[in-house]
Amino acid sequence: MTEQPQTKVLRWGILATGGISTNFTKDLLIDASTRGQDFKHAVVAVGSRSKDRADAFIRELGLDIAKGYGSAVDLFNDPNVDVVYVGTPNSNHYPASKAALLAGKHVLCEKGFTINAKQAEELVRISEEKRLFLMEAMWSRFFPATIAIQEVIAGGKIGTVRRVFADLAQDFKTFDMDDGHRLIAPSLGGGALLDLMPYTLHWALLTLFPHPAEISSIPKIVGQMTISRSVDLHTTAVLSFDELPSAQAVISGSMAAGTVNQVVVQGSEGTLTVSGVMVAPTGYKIKYNDEREETVECSDPNTDNAFGFCFEQDEVGRQIFAGSVESPRNNHQTSIRVMTILDEIKRQGGLILPQEIERV
């Protein structure tokens, strides 16, 4: 009797127990084989500010084999953890990711990836030196709809891209928030720049440059911010790239305006609009210059019960089991470039965050 090969298991440690970590973990519990993967995901450890919070998270989600920890250090020292998901407030992304890498763990870190580009460069240095996988958790890049949109643009269906508009806004009622809320606390890296603008910037980059290797420069940037309570309430930037002298991107984000969640790509032959919300796209619509219209949905029936984090989770597994330190769809240089652009928008907008969270 032939012995069946044992299924590979990627063992996750979850750092932080807030809403995004909850939804992320729920997707990890869905069998990856239903999406055609040859490995499984398993949550084996959870870290929080207290062991009680970690244990409550474990009970709530039914994580039968997971162990709870009351500190990040204890989580990183668990020998059963292969990869750490960092879902903390922005200010802790860099120190937590660095500590996890130094402890020998692969890392998937939420966006904004770091507070600045120098921190991103340091994480990449450690990742490549220690041969550990590292990726910014820009989940939107891995949706089937995003991949299809890039293929349509690269194939010339809307002609040469001329302009990209990406606007992400939501009224978070920031004026009613306590000063310590993560969205508006400067000490936690609050503000639209690090919470909303990474989405709009990634969409600009992935539509203008369907392949990350195609971009080699930092764009010319004109940025503007409205600052309130020491963080940016609204931020807008215009980007133009040397590689694309006839194209321009306008990206914007707001934490205090009516809900807008739209990506529009204008080409020489037509205009493509991303369907659904930009953070979790479902398809696209094209209106051609000759008035023809086309609507394409890219739903996956195997992920109907998922939030959509499963797509990036599977990419993490594929790359780790392949021995890679980065994903070709969201590589290290892309994350450094994103943080470099955000740094310049921050400088032009006059936003000054506490020095202690800017340190490398």
So what's the pLDDT on residue 176? 86
Topology of domain 8-139, CATH: Rossmann fold (3.40.50)
**Per-residue buried b or exposed e for 143-167, using 16+ beta carbons within 10 Å of the residue's own CB:** bbbbbbbbebbeeeebeebeebbbb
Sequential DSSP letters for 253-311: EESSSS-EEEEEEEESSEEEEEEEETTEEEEEEEEETTS-EEEEE---GGGTTS-STHH
Question: Is residue 64 pLDDT above 70, yes or no?
Answer: yes
- Percent of the chain beyond pLDDT 70? 98
CATH architecture entry for 141-358? 2-Layer Sandwich (3.30)
- Percent of the chain beyond pLDDT 90? 86
**Domain ranges across the chain:** 8-139, 141-358
So what's the pLDDT on residue 299? 79
Per the CB < 8 A criterion, the answer to whether 208 and 164 are in contact is: yes
Query: Which two tokens mark 94?
Result: 């860099």
DSSP code at position 202: H
CATH topology agreement for domains 8-139 and 141-358:
no
Residues 164-202: tens digit of each pLDDT = 999 999 998 888 888 888 888 999 999 999 999 999 999
Residues 129-157: tens digit of each pLDDT = 999 999 999 999 999 999 999 999 999 99
Q: Distance between CA atoms of 159 and 202, rounded to whole angstroms?
A: 21
Per the CB < 8 A criterion, the answer to whether 99 and 76 are in contact is: yes
Decide the pairing of beta strands 293-297 and 280-288: antiparallel
Q: Distance between CA atoms of 46 and 72, rounded to whole angstroms?
A: 9
Sign of CA dihedral 183, 184, 186, 187: negative
